[in-house]
Structure 1
């Protein structure tokens, strides 16, 4: 099955990229997502990930905007503009009899301009480059004025830009301006990188993942076997919910041990591990310690060996925690309920501004909002119903329906359609949630 690659960027640059993607049609399907204004980048990035395995951004600008907005959930690359791209533009300027020593640029760093000119044995008196401070949070008019004022003051003879809108704005004013496009060899190089990255990710996601869970006595004696069984039964219900959320299979081993079989793509997310720790911690008992190890491998045998090694690390701790060991022998951990408590505190303290604002506006718990975001990432779409949400959040369908309706009420979603599978009973609403 071929990879699906989303291509995000300005319309003209995406079109240039698509002329090269024809060479790779037997390896991947490329889906364009074009914008006319950089403000559309975040929405297009979110939309592109619904059916894409990997993303290619047309340049550093849209990539940085999406990265800073924390909306990139899939492996991604962007096509830079240094090197051959700049050489080609300088060649065009020379053909147009433009003094290439007197230019201003935006997407290129001053160091890149100077080094390129040095390789051409050209000495620059001064380099004029716009400083984005690595955020690309700028106004088009502000950037256009930067170039225009330099030209008006006769400090430059031409402008080199990476932005289509700047190109059009300054061209209307009669200023010699050149759009910096990626060259075909550069596009080809990054398409190959994207395909390789996508293939590696697919192989990793398909790896076997095994989690071994062990219930340990904290040192206190149980009044009877019934007391231990009651604690065990409470914990089992959380194991079942957690296993279902991660599309796995749960198997009890003896009196105090459990195995969960799933795949790496389902369980690797750190939020899943923290959810497991916090949920079991809440229903657990002070008389037991919950230790677990997660292992990845190409076979069940390798994954279980790694899970057992990770479990040994966990057993050395005197508190509930999880360790993780990958196929290369790298061990991560411990992940504990305290980590998740800190995460929840961070969100409610305003470190996650987006979640805090949604919570304040809707009066919904920031934990529920965070989990809904995780659910959308996990199922790779933002189309939900109350049954799916109730299952994932561990709440009643009625409560899930209330949460979804509140989000719609405050503008964070809409009811896409209503369906009824039976002539009687409440019709099922299908929601599109944007958080």
Structure 2
């Protein structure tokens, strides 16, 4: 049974939970209503450990939670479609006998509204639109609608917010709410059900972690006696056992500073921050570099092979960090950190593979480059950019880009000059 926290205004939360009863065999819904969407941050901070996934009635509260948790893995929101806009317009037309004549509307984007009106081929007469985001306030939106209505510029208002709707109605402004429809809620619940199935798949996948102190032989040489070494190893094992308890996993000591932990993928991913703190503690206690390789697989054997590949890659990297290799060939370096990079060492494009083979560039490094460009949102970049973010030597980075240009996978698009001395840096772009 997966625990689902539902966040939104009271009326929306009640509707969502009502429809959610269809999934009561697999999901348990808990209401976390708010009066102001800014309360979302406090709710997710206080109750994030109490739920497996969050469901939001709207995109703004979802965005706040995403910023608060720095992750969107366990977040789902109800997509705001044209249906909600059409419903509110029909209500307005029915009760006021006027359609889009002198009306104020708050929307998350103007394009959303324009698309809805374009589809019904109706041009508004006098329509005032205010877009909102996570920094907007209920009072700000109230003032927008009230000022227009008091000045006689509008005859009514359409709003996405329950608090704004109730406030305007109390002030005597004809107001209609753009609320989620039954179809939108059911679609979000289907997505949520699929996400929980993914969680189940992760929880049943095997995860193997290999944790190794790189220079254990030097640590052995430093200690005063074999007893001190045994005390140190007991201290390390105690630290790892505490972490292992969080995973509900098992610890295996291999000797010479190498340890293996068996658990599940879901548990490892949920406790990645605890692993980071554990590694930091071990590094300080041993005054040595600690490397970590994590492998996932459907069997212990496949997960262990991936973990061995992962720890080897961690050792090869200058900054080390946690490296993960999934069962599908996806590789994650600097896992759990801001500079986390995900890419694959497999490739299905035969033509591209042949080009890389011709210039002796590995698929792994090419995918690493494309993943970095996507994460950094670069249109173009310099050799220094690559060297800095991928921890490559500038000479190797330059040779890499020259090789890609040779097989027409990249192009040199110009140079950037500086006021200081030295040659201008060439700028490159992938094709």
| TM above 0.5 | yes
Query: d(CA) in 2 for partners of 1:270 and 1:146?
Result: 45
Q: Residue 283 and residue 101 in structure 1: after superposition, are their counterparts in 2 closer, same or farther (change >3 A)?
A: same
Given that residues 45 and 72 in structure 1 are in contact (C-alpha distance below 8 angstroms), is that contact kept between their aligned partners in structure 2?
Answer: no
Could you tell me which residue of structure 2 aligns to residue 79 of structure 1? 78
Deviation at 1:193, TM superposition (A): 0.8
Deviation at 1:98, TM superposition (A): 2.3
Within the candidate set 197, 200, 212, 2:198 is matched to 200
Given that residues 216 and 256 in structure 2 are in contact (C-alpha distance below 8 angstroms), is that contact kept between their aligned partners in structure 1?
Answer: no
Deviation at 1:299, TM superposition (A): 2.1
Within the candidate set 167, 174, 185, 2:165 is matched to 167
Count of residues in Structure 1 that have an aligned counterpart in Structure 2: 334
Could you tell me which residue of structure 2 aligns to residue 22 of structure 1? 21
Deviation at 1:260, TM superposition (A): 1.5
Could you tell me which residue of structure 2 aligns to residue 394 of structure 1? none
Normalising to structure 1: TM-score of the pair? 0.67
Q: Residue 177 and residue 309 in structure 1: after superposition, are their counterparts in 2 closer, same or farther (change >3 A)?
A: same
Q: Residue 95 and residue 210 in structure 1: after superposition, are their counterparts in 2 closer, same or farther (change >3 A)?
A: same
Query: d(CA) in 2 for partners of 1:232 and 1:315?
Result: 25
5 Å-filtered alignment, 1:252-401, equals 252-268=253-269, 269-285=271-287, 289-317=289-317, 321-334=321-334
Could you tell me which residue of structure 1 aligns to residue 148 of structure 2? 150
List alignment gaps of at least 5 residues for structure 1. Answer: 343-435
Q: Tell me the SS of whatever aligns to 2:236.
A: helix
Deviation at 1:306, TM superposition (A): 0.8
Given that residues 101 and 122 in structure 1 are in contact (C-alpha distance below 8 angstroms), is that contact kept between their aligned partners in structure 2?
Answer: no
Query: d(CA) in 2 for partners of 1:187 and 1:223?
Result: 64
Show CA shifts across 1:221-253 (max 9, x none). Answer: 975997788557525523431332232322122
Show CA shifts across 1:161-213 (max 9, x none). Answer: 11122112211222211011111011000011112112212321342221123
Deviation at 1:127, TM superposition (A): 4.5
5 Å-filtered alignment, 1:52-71, equals 52-70=51-69
Q: Tell me the SS of whatever aligns to 1:294.
A: strand
Could you tell me which residue of structure 1 aligns to residue 174 of structure 2? 176
Given that residues 61 and 136 in structure 1 are in contact (C-alpha distance below 8 angstroms), is that contact kept between their aligned partners in structure 2?
Answer: no
Show CA shifts across 1:114-158 (max 9, x none). Answer: 1211111112356522232x31441x3322110011122333222
Show CA shifts across 1:319-347 (max 9, x none). Answer: 764422122222222579xx89x9xxxxx
Q: Residue 334 and residue 45 in structure 1: after superposition, are their counterparts in 2 closer, same or farther (change >3 A)?
A: closer
Q: Which moved more, 1:290-299 or 1:142-151?
A: 290-299
Given that residues 108 and 131 in structure 2 are in contact (C-alpha distance below 8 angstroms), is that contact kept between their aligned partners in structure 1?
Answer: no
Q: Tell me the SS of whatever aligns to 2:314.
A: helix
Q: Residue 31 and residue 225 in structure 1: after superposition, are their counterparts in 2 closer, same or farther (change >3 A)?
A: closer
Could you tell me which residue of structure 2 aligns to residue 402 of structure 1? none
Q: Which moved more, 1:158-167 or 1:90-99?
A: 90-99
Q: Tell me the SS of whatever aligns to 1:100.
A: coil
Could you tell me which residue of structure 2 aligns to residue 423 of structure 1? none
Q: Tell me the SS of whatever aligns to 2:25.
A: coil
Deviation at 1:67, TM superposition (A): 3.3
Q: Residue 243 and residue 205 in structure 1: after superposition, are their counterparts in 2 closer, same or farther (change >3 A)?
A: farther
1:212 aligns with 2:214: no
Given that residues 45 and 68 in structure 2 are in contact (C-alpha distance below 8 angstroms), is that contact kept between their aligned partners in structure 1?
Answer: no
Query: d(CA) in 1 for partners of 2:226 and 2:172?
Result: 82
Show CA shifts across 1:361-416 (max 9, x none). Answer: xxxxxxxxxxxxxxxxxxxxxxxxxxxxxxxxxxxxxxxxxxxxxxxxxxxxxxxx
Show CA shifts across 1:20-75 (max 9, x none). Answer: 22332333222222223435433433454343221111112332333344487871
Query: d(CA) in 2 for partners of 1:131 and 1:38?
Result: 15
Q: Tell me the SS of whatever aligns to 2:131.
A: coil
Q: Residue 214 and residue 228 in structure 1: after superposition, are their counterparts in 2 closer, same or farther (change >3 A)?
A: farther
Q: Residue 150 and residue 293 in structure 1: after superposition, are their counterparts in 2 closer, same or farther (change >3 A)?
A: same
Deviation at 1:279, TM superposition (A): 1.5
Query: d(CA) in 2 for partners of 1:320 and 1:233?
Result: 27
Query: d(CA) in 2 for partners of 1:29 and 1:223?
Result: 56
Query: Which structure is richer in relative contact order (CA contacts within 8 A, separation 6 or more)?
Result: 1
Could you tell me which residue of structure 2 aligns to residue 4 of structure 1? 3
Q: Tell me the SS of whatever aligns to 2:50.
A: coil
Deviation at 1:318, TM superposition (A): 6.6
Q: Residue 253 and residue 222 in structure 1: after superposition, are their counterparts in 2 closer, same or farther (change >3 A)?
A: closer
Q: Residue 10 and residue 280 in structure 1: after superposition, are their counterparts in 2 closer, same or farther (change >3 A)?
A: same
Q: Tell me the SS of whatever aligns to 1:14.
A: helix
Query: d(CA) in 2 for partners of 1:60 and 1:221?
Result: 53
